[in-house]
């Protein structure tokens, strides 16, 4: 499909697009949900647990956009709080203990920007996810199924393989947030989407993701079963490639994968120490 970046944003957010619960029900058997971060709370925006995937035990962690208003209010419309990220960390450590692969499904407009989330260390919770995932000694496959915005999405995407659904978007921030910061005008989101390089083909070209999962004609919402089949085939292929590797090899290769996220140049060394300018008050 030849779609603009902004059109893909709209498809990624389509209300009928399959959500985490539906993907999990379609792809896994014996899914057992595990709640709570074992510190102080439970966050409905993260759905996690154990399941069988074509007969093999796996840990599944997903951001959850609800179908009903009630579900959505419980999980801040799929925007996780620190408790959600800490639950994810707990489930990942548990996966390592029982040596089962981790599969994450990501569809979030970002981490929840609320007062209580800040008080309980939203930044620390995300940072700790990045740290834990970078060193985890089991295979991790992450799939951006819809929106993957900001550190809130990255917190579940430090994986051996990062895949995107064809119409998913993955970015530093929502196009609205980006436009409001750079253009001081959130309504210029469509324009922002055009320069952000947030589509799957863009990110493939930048070397940020490892594969694109084709969607049925019209998008995943037009043929959910077709989307599930494509997702299933992609995850299976990646897990097969990763399953023979030792924990040490996986962690080392994962480190190198993110270590290679580079883009810089070198300038002639600055001769002066720079005049000491006043900081803007």
Q: How far is the CB of 16 from another protein (least distance, A)?
A: 26
| Angle, CA 213 vertex, CA 192 and CA 253 arms, to 5° | 90
Nearer to another protein, 205 or 225 (CB): 205
- List contacts with another protein (CB under 8 A): 111-115, 117-124, 126-128, 130-131, 134-135, 150-151, 154-155, 157-158, 170-173, 177-178, 181-182, 195-198, 203, 206, 208, 254-255, 258-259, 261-270, 272-279, 281
Nearer to another protein, 113 or 218 (CB): 113
The rounded distance, in Å, linking the Cα atoms of 79 and 85 is: 11
Q: How far is the CB of 225 from another protein (least distance, A)?
A: 31
Nearer to another protein, 103 or 196 (CB): 196
Q: How far is the CB of 258 from another protein (least distance, A)?
A: 5
How far apart are the two ends of the chain, measured CA to CA in Å? Answer: 50
| Residue position matching structure tokens 């300038």 | 267
In sequence order, what DSSP letters do the residues of 10-72 get, joined into one string? HHHT-TTS--HHHHHHHH-EEEEE----SSS---TTEEEEEEEETTEEEEEEEE---SSHHHH
b vs e for 117-135, b when ≥16 Cβ sit within 10 Å of the residue's Cβ?
A: beebebeebbebbbebbee
Q: How far is the CB of 254 from another protein (least distance, A)?
A: 8
Nearer to another protein, 70 or 276 (CB): 276
In contact, 32 and 51? CB cutoff 8 Å: yes
The rounded distance, in Å, linking the Cα atoms of 81 and 112 is: 6
Q: How far is the CB of 144 from another protein (least distance, A)?
A: 11
The rounded distance, in Å, linking the Cα atoms of 79 and 61 is: 14
Q: How far is the CB of 246 from another protein (least distance, A)?
A: 17
Nearer to another protein, 240 or 253 (CB): 253
Q: How far is the CB of 224 from another protein (least distance, A)?
A: 27
Nearer to another protein, 70 or 281 (CB): 281
Nearer to another protein, 83 or 228 (CB): 83
The rounded distance, in Å, linking the Cα atoms of 164 and 145 is: 6
């Amino acid at each position: 499909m030849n779609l603009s970046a902004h059109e893909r944003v709209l498809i990624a957010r389509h209300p009928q697009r399959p959500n985490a619960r539906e993907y999990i029900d379609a792809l896994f058997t014996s899914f057992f949900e595990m709640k709570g971060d074992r510190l102080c709370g439970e966050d409905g925006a993260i759905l996690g647990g154990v399941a069988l995937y074509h007969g093999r035990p796996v840990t599944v962690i997903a951001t959850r956009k609800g179908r009903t208003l009630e579900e959505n209010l419980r999980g801040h419309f799929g925007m996780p709080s620190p408790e959600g990220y800490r639950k994810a960390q707990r489930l990942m450590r548990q996966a390592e203990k029982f040596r089962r692969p981790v599969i994450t499904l990501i569809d979030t407009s970002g981490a929840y920007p609320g007062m209580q989330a800040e008080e309980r260390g939203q930044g620390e919770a995300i940072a700790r996810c990045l740290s834990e995932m970078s060193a985890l000694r089991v295979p991790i496959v992450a799939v951006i199924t819809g929106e993957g915005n900001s550190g809130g999405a990255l917190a579940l995407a430090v994986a051996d393989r990062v895949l995107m659904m064809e119409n998913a978007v993955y970015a530093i921030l929502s196009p609205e947030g980006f436009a409001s910061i750079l253009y001081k005008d959130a309504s210029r989101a469509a324009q922002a989407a055009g320069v952000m390089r947030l589509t799957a083909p863009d990110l493939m070209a930048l070397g940020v993701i490892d594969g694109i999962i084709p969607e049925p004609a019209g998008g995943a919402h037009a043929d959910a079963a077709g989307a599930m089949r494509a997702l299933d085939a992609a995850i299976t292929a990646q897990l097969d490639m990763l399953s023979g590797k030792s924990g040490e090899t996986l962690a080392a290769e994962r480190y190198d994968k993110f270590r290679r996220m580079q883009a810089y140049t070198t300038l002639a060394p600055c001769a002066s120490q720079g005049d000491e300018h006043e900081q803007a008050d």
